Structure 1
C-alpha cells in the first residue's frame, strides 16, 4: 500500500530545498532543567509563526510553577514582530509541563496535537482516576491532526506524520524542509527514545523512525531533547536524515527491527521514570491546563501509589 502522506512530505521537502522562500526561520530555546528544546518556527514573508513543544517551569519539591522559559519565547516573538498562529505539541510529554495555555493567552494561536491523544487520555485518565468530568475526546485542544494532514504557517507548507512507538500519539511535523520529530530520535551519538510507557511499542517506534529516515537525506531534523552523549560537551538538537542514517547508534542503516527491539527493550528495563512524569502527563493530557481547583481554590496533582 502506497504511503501517500510520506510521498507528499517528500515532495514538500524537495520544493523547499529548491525554493529558499519555502524554508522556515527556526529558533530553538533549550531548557536545561528538562533537557527540552522549544522551537519558534516562522515564515519570513508573512511573519506568522508556530511554537512547538513549549515548557512551563515546575519545581517538584514545592509544586510551584513559573514562566521564565515561556517568557523567553514571548520576548523573541515580540522582538521579531511575529504572529503566532499555532501552538503544536508533538505528543503528551512525560518530562515537562506544556506552557501552551500561558502562551496562547498572551500570543493567540490554536493548540494542536495528534488525534491519538485520545488513547493517551483514556489510559492516563484511568491511572489518575480523573473521573467522568475529564473528557477523553481531545476537546482540550483546538486541533487534532491525523496522518498526512496539511496546515499552513503563512506561506509555509506543513504536513503532519503519525510516528507512534514512544507513545501512541506521537507526531512529526514537517514545515518546509524541516522535520520536528519530537521524542522519536535523538542526536546520532545518543540514539532513540524509550518505548516502555503505556501504549509504547519498540517495533512500532522502529518503523516510525525508518519512515522519518526515508525522507530526503538533506531534510533537517529538529529534536525535542538532548542529554549530551558521553564524550560530547555541548548540547545539540539539529541533525539531518542523512546523518542519522549513517551514524545513529541505535537505528542507522543496516540495523534490523529485531535487533532494535531487543536493544530497546533491554535498555528500557533499566531506565528510571522521568522525574516529572506524574505532574507532566496529568497536566499535558489536559492541554497543559492544571486539574480544576478544589473547593479551597487550589489545584492538586495526584500521585498514584504502587500503581506503575
Structure 2
C-alpha cells in the first residue's frame, strides 16, 4: 500500500470514529514516572477486546533486578473490567525502558506486534552488541510485523498501522478509531519532538513522519509515549489532539520548514546525552521484551559495550 493510500485509510477511519461515538475506543493511560513513559490499555466498549500499547517492565539498573509492579497494574485493570487482550502493540524498540510484553502475554494472552522495520534495528544493534548467529534478525521474536498501511481490528473497531520513521527506522503509529498512538514521534505541543540521533535515526524522515500524522483530523486524540514536563509546566500530560500539535508544536507546527526542523533537531540532539537505560533496553526490546539466553551457569547477562554509542 502506498503512503498516500495508507494515510487516507487512517484519515477516513479517524474521521468516522470522531463522528460516530460507537466506533471510538476507551483509553486508559498508566504513567511510569521513573522512565517518563506512558503505557495504554485501549479497548472496544462493545466487545471488551483490548490492546496494550508500550508496556513497562520495572528495572533497577544498579542491582540488575527486574520487577513487575507497572505491568501488574495493567493486569489488574484488565481483569477488573473483564477485558480480553487481543494485541500487545509496540510502537518501536524503546531505548528508555524495558518492555513487559512477554510477561503480560503470559498472563493475558494477545498477539505481540511491532513494525516490520524492526529487522533493521536488529541488524544495527546486533552488531553493536556483537550478537552471535543465535540471535535471529528476522523479527521472529514477535508474533506479527506490521507494514505501512496494514489494517487490523480491535473488536469491532477498525485500526491502521502507519510507518513513521525518524526517531528510529522502525517507529509505528497505531490509529485505532479516533485514538492515535504515536510513540516517540511527537511529545506534548509545549515540549516538541523526539530526538533523531540514535543509530538509524534521521531528522528529515522524522519531520516527514510528523507532518504526515498532522494530516489526520484535528479532533483525533493523540496519545504520547513520554512526557518530561515542559518548562513552566508542573504536571505530567500525555494526551493531546492532532489540531493542537499541528498548530502549536514548538518544533514542528504549521509554518516550520523541513530544513528549519532538521537544523534545530540536529543542533539540539548534539547536546543530549544517551538515555540512562538505552543499553539494557535495546538489548531486551529488540528481542520482543525477552532476555538474552542464560549462559552455562544459568544466569542471563546484558552487555555493556564501551566507547561505542
Shorter-chain TM band: over 0.9
Matches of 1:239 and 1:67, distance apart in 2 = 28
Q: Does residue 176 in structure 1 map to residue 200 in structure 2?
A: no
Number of residue pairs aligned between Structure 1 and Structure 2: 308
Q: Residue in 2 aligned with 1:260? A: 261
Q: Following TM superposition, by how much is the alpha carbon of 1:18 offset from its aligned partner in structure 2, in angstroms?
A: 1.6
Q: Residue in 2 aligned with 1:233? A: 234
Query: Deviation digits for residues 213-262 of structure 1, max 9, x if unmatched?
Result: 01111111100000000100110001111111111110000000000000
Q: Secondary structure at the match of 2:73?
A: helix
Q: Does residue 303 in structure 1 map to residue 294 in structure 2?
A: no
Checking the alignment, whether the CA contact within 8 Å between 2:3 and 2:149 is kept in structure 1 is no
Query: Deviation digits for residues 98-134 of structure 1, max 9, x if unmatched?
Result: 0000000000001000000000000000110110000
Matches of 1:173 and 1:288, distance apart in 2 = 19
For structure 2, list consecutive stretches of 5 or more residues without a partner in the other structure: none
Checking the alignment, whether the CA contact within 8 Å between 2:91 and 2:171 is kept in structure 1 is yes
Matches of 1:188 and 1:243, distance apart in 2 = 7
Checking the alignment, whether the CA contact within 8 Å between 2:180 and 2:220 is kept in structure 1 is yes
Query: Deviation digits for residues 59-84 of structure 1, max 9, x if unmatched?
Result: 00000000000000000000000000
Q: Following TM superposition, by how much is the alpha carbon of 1:21 offset from its aligned partner in structure 2, in angstroms?
A: 0.7
Q: Residue in 1 aligned with 2:217? A: 216
Q: Residue in 2 aligned with 1:205? A: 206
The alpha-carbon distance between structure 1 residues 150 and 2, as it changes in their structure 2 partners (threshold 3 A), is closer
Matches of 1:106 and 1:279, distance apart in 2 = 24
Matches of 1:11 and 1:111, distance apart in 2 = 26
Q: Residue in 1 aligned with 2:55? A: 54
Matches of 2:217 and 2:107, distance apart in 1 = 37
Q: Following TM superposition, by how much is the alpha carbon of 1:170 offset from its aligned partner in structure 2, in angstroms?
A: 0.1
Q: Following TM superposition, by how much is the alpha carbon of 1:2 offset from its aligned partner in structure 2, in angstroms?
A: 6.8
Matches of 1:110 and 1:219, distance apart in 2 = 25
Q: Does residue 276 in structure 1 map to residue 277 in structure 2?
A: yes
Matches of 2:75 and 2:290, distance apart in 1 = 19
Q: Residue in 1 aligned with 2:7? A: 6
RMSD over aligned CA atoms reads 0.7
Q: Following TM superposition, by how much is the alpha carbon of 1:279 offset from its aligned partner in structure 2, in angstroms?
A: 0.3
Matches of 1:215 and 1:21, distance apart in 2 = 19
Q: Following TM superposition, by how much is the alpha carbon of 1:15 offset from its aligned partner in structure 2, in angstroms?
A: 1.0
Q: Secondary structure at the match of 1:3?
A: helix
Instruction: Give me the TM-score of the superposition, normalised by structure 2.
Output: 0.99
Q: Following TM superposition, by how much is the alpha carbon of 1:50 offset from its aligned partner in structure 2, in angstroms?
A: 0.2
Q: Report runs of 4+ in structure 1 exceeding 2 Å deviation.
A: none
Instruction: Give me the TM-score of the superposition, normalised by structure 1.
Output: 0.99
Query: Deviation digits for residues 154-195 of structure 1, max 9, x if unmatched?
Result: 001110000000000000000000110000000001000000
Checking the alignment, whether the CA contact within 8 Å between 2:185 and 2:206 is kept in structure 1 is yes
Matches of 1:29 and 1:18, distance apart in 2 = 27
Q: Select between 296-305 and 1-10 the one with higher mean Cα deviation.
A: 1-10
Matches of 2:308 and 2:53, distance apart in 1 = 31
Q: Residue in 1 aligned with 2:103? A: 102
For structure 1, list consecutive stretches of 5 or more residues without a partner in the other structure: none
Matches of 2:207 and 2:14, distance apart in 1 = 22
Checking the alignment, whether the CA contact within 8 Å between 2:3 and 2:148 is kept in structure 1 is no
Q: Does residue 82 in structure 1 map to residue 83 in structure 2?
A: yes
